[in-house]
Structure 1
Amino acid sequence: MQKIIIIGAGPVGLLLAHYLLSRRDYQVEIYERRLDPRLAEQSNQRTFPIALQSRGLNAIDQILGLKVALAKKGVWSQGVLIYSKQGQPRRINRKMPSLLIDRNQLNLVLLEHLLEKHSRDLVKVKFDCSCVDINLESQEAILQSNNGERFTTKYDRLVGADGVGSQVREVLSARSDIQCQYDFIPDVYKSLHVPRIAPDQTVELAGNCLHTSTLGKGIRLVMAPQPDDWLHGTLIFSPDNNPLENCTTDEAVLAYFQENIPFIKPMMRLEDAAVLRQRPVSKIMTVKCDRMHVCDRILLVGDAVHAVSPSIGQGCNASLQDVQVFAQCLDRYEDKWEEALPAFTAKRLSDVHALRELSDYTFPRSKPMMLEFIFRLTVGKKLRPWFPLLTNPLPMELIMESELPYSEVLKQSQGWINRVKESMQN
């Protein structure tokens, strides 16, 4: 029985543990720098929403009972409502529903399901513990508890699933075992939480759709409904155009939303504006690596190896799909990691590199292209049966309404991607 150490107890690390333990040939130890989510107060559970689509859901569905358990903590979304200052919102229906779920709830279900299903002889999860170094020659991970205590544990195989700030990746990169590129996306954001139903009960926003609004000058709002009748989302803007920068009071923040984003006006309370004003502005780093494994013993998955912009909602979906693709490689090579690891890199790398391109350039920034984008998503879909050559699907449609590999989506939508790139340069 092989001992697998997984660094990172986020969604991808926990799902990989599910897959490995279902093969009955592995003992798994998971180490996570964050605190145990089971010990957090419920009031502190809200983080940010994740939209699980077909790629992520297919990976989850391979573990018996997991999808059903997650559905109880999320909301099925049938489409998107796009709001403007005036008029009725435009609705874009999706053929494939998405499961909207808070990231902490996703993690909690994966963790509890894992520990309920497998004995402590086979799986151990230790929180409040970081990986500080790896000795590849002796096959040892050096770990440190947040109280400063260091200890060493041996492994047969090691997995870096520790997110965009991956220590595993940094160790490998410092040794020149892997080449990585780091960037920050041009946007920043603030998280926002408001009730889905107005406090006076006069207005109720749809509980089965994403709610979005584009304000111009690169400012966008995306809100996702959650089971507790809240909307979780983000206000996205460029670093040099923070719409709340001059809002020095909670009342000023509330007034900004009431004037510029009318659909939120009945929902947003002064206390919601106060929380938003105090939230820091967050940046998002992207990661692009030249491989997803090192030698025959170390695997990198998820944001640790391909963190992308969240603009098209595929970061978590792609990470979960990594697990399914790697399991297919283990099937093919009968759990011989020395063959499965290079096969995984060969099969997966082109898709995750294509995803970065799609994430950066699917959404236009110029006003004319944004108008074309909305027109093609709404009217264009209706015209497509009669004018297929004139109304080719946008990359967003191919991502949301098909299970094409990301590399094939990029190939089919390269014309649009090139136009967005050009508009951004101009």
Structure 2
Amino acid sequence: MQKVVIIGAGPVGLLLAHYLLSRRNYQVEIYESRLDPRLAEQSSQRTFPIALQSRGLNAIEQIFGLKVALAKKGVWSQGVLIYPKQGKPRQINRKMPTLLIDRNQLSLVLLEHLLEQYSQELLTVKFDCPCVDINPETQEAILESKNGERFTAKYDRLVGADGVRSLVREVLSARADIQCQKNFIPDVYKSLHVPRIAPDKTVELAGNYVHTSTLGKGIRLVLAPQPDDWLHGTLIFPPDNNPLENCTTDEAVLAYFQDNIAFIKPVMRLEDAAMLRQQPVSKIMTVKCDRMHVGDRILLVGDAAHAVSPSIGQGCNASLQDVQVFAQCLDRYEDKWEEALPAFTVERLSDVHALRELSDYSFPRSKSMMLEFVFRLTVGKKLRPWFPLLTNPLPMELIMESELPYSEVLKRGQGWINRVRESIQN
């Protein structure tokens, strides 16, 4: 029986543990730097919403009972409502429903399901226990316990599933075992939580659609419904154009939203504006690696290997899909990691590199291209049966309404991607 040490107990690390343990010839130890999510108060559990689309859901469905358990903690979305400054929103329906779920809830369900299925002889999970170094020569991960003492964990195989600021990746990069590019996307954001139903019950925003609005000058709002009748999302803006910079009071923040985003006016309260004002301005780092494995013992998955912009909601989906693709490689090579690892890199790398470009350039920034974008997603879809050559699907449609590999989506949508890139650069 092989011992696999997984660094990172986020969704991808936990799902990988499910896959490995179901094969019946692995012992798994998981180490996570964050606190145990089971011990946190529910109110402090709110993070950002994840939109699980077919790629991520397909990976989850391979583990019996997971999709049903997750659906109880999320909301099925039928599409997107795009709000103009005034007037009725445009409704974009999706053929394939999306499961909207809070990131921490996703991890919590994966964790609890894992602990219910496997004994302590096969599975160890330790929180508040960061990895501080790895030694590939001795096959050891160096970790730090809650009291600050360091200890080592021997492994037969090591998985870096520790996210965008992966310690495993950084060590491998410093050793020149992999080449890695890290960048920050041009935009920054603030997290926002507002009720879905107005306090006086006179207005209720749709509970099965994502709500979004573009305010101009690079400012946009995205809100996803959650099961507790809240909308969780982000206010996104260029770093040099923070719309709340001069809002020095909670009342000023509330007034900004009431003046500029009509659909949110009935539901946003002063306490929601206060929480938003206190939120820090956050940046998003992207990661691009030249491989997803090192030697025959070390694997990188998820954001540790390919963090991307969240603009098209595919980061978590791609990460979960990594797990399914790697499991297929293990099937093909009968659990011989020395063969499965390089095969995984060859099979997966072109897709995750394509996803980076799709994430950066699928969503337009200019007003003219945004109008074209909305037109093609609404009117264009209706005209497609009669004028297929004039109404080719946008990359966003191919991502959300098909299961094409990301590299194929990029190939088909390269013309649009090039136009968006040029509009941003000019």
Q: Give the structure-1-normalised TM-score.
A: 1.00
Give matches, 1:134-153, under 5 Å.
134-153=134-153
Shift of 1:71: 0.2
For residues 241 and 147 of structure 1, the distance between their equivalents in structure 2, rounded to whole angstroms, comes to: 43
One-letter amino acid of the counterpart of residue 97, structure 1: P
For residues 86 and 379 of structure 1, the distance between their equivalents in structure 2, rounded to whole angstroms, comes to: 20
For residues 268 and 425 of structure 2, the distance between their equivalents in structure 1, rounded to whole angstroms, comes to: 37
Q: CA deviation digits over 1:241-269, x for unaligned, max 9?
A: 00000000000000000010010000100
The percentage of aligned residue pairs carrying the same residue is: 88
Shift of 1:116: 0.2
**Counterpart in 1 of 2:131?**
131
**Counterpart in 1 of 2:325?**
325
**Counterpart in 2 of 1:188?**
188
For residues 229 and 381 of structure 2, the distance between their equivalents in structure 1, rounded to whole angstroms, comes to: 31
**Counterpart in 2 of 1:400?**
400
- SS of residue paired to 1:389: coil
Shift of 1:17: 0.1
For residues 422 and 168 of structure 1, the distance between their equivalents in structure 2, rounded to whole angstroms, comes to: 36
Q: CA deviation digits over 1:9-56, x for unaligned, max 9?
A: 000000000000000000000000000000001110100000000000
**Counterpart in 2 of 1:74?**
74
**Counterpart in 2 of 1:98?**
98
- SS of residue paired to 1:129: coil
- SS of residue paired to 1:404: coil
Shift of 1:172: 0.2
Shift of 1:147: 3.0
**Counterpart in 2 of 1:227?**
227
- SS of residue paired to 1:105: helix
Which region of structure 1 is more displaced relative to structure 2, 296-305 or 365-374? 365-374
Shift of 1:146: 4.3
For residues 153 and 106 of structure 1, the distance between their equivalents in structure 2, rounded to whole angstroms, comes to: 27
**Counterpart in 2 of 1:425?**
425
For residues 8 and 87 of structure 2, the distance between their equivalents in structure 1, rounded to whole angstroms, comes to: 46
For residues 85 and 335 of structure 1, the distance between their equivalents in structure 2, rounded to whole angstroms, comes to: 55
One-letter amino acid of the counterpart of residue 309, structure 2: S
For residues 231 and 140 of structure 1, the distance between their equivalents in structure 2, rounded to whole angstroms, comes to: 43
For residues 92 and 187 of structure 1, the distance between their equivalents in structure 2, rounded to whole angstroms, comes to: 25
For residues 98 and 385 of structure 1, the distance between their equivalents in structure 2, rounded to whole angstroms, comes to: 25
Q: Give the structure-2-normalised TM-score.
A: 1.00
Structure 1 runs (4+) deviating above 3 angstroms are: none
One-letter amino acid of the counterpart of residue 135, structure 1: N
Shift of 1:145: 2.2
Unpaired runs of at least 5, structure 2: none
Size of the alignment, in residue pairs? 426
Shift of 1:148: 1.7
Q: CA deviation digits over 1:305-332, x for unaligned, max 9?
A: 0000000000000000000000000000
**Counterpart in 2 of 1:160?**
160
Q: CA deviation digits over 1:347-403, x for unaligned, max 9?
A: 000000000000000011111111111111111111111111111100000000000
Give matches, 1:50-61, under 5 Å.
50-61=50-61
Matched, 1:339 2:342: no
**Counterpart in 2 of 1:375?**
375
One-letter amino acid of the counterpart of residue 332, structure 1: R
RMSD: 0.5
For residues 221 and 100 of structure 1, the distance between their equivalents in structure 2, rounded to whole angstroms, comes to: 16
Give matches, 1:14-413, under 5 Å.
14-413=14-413
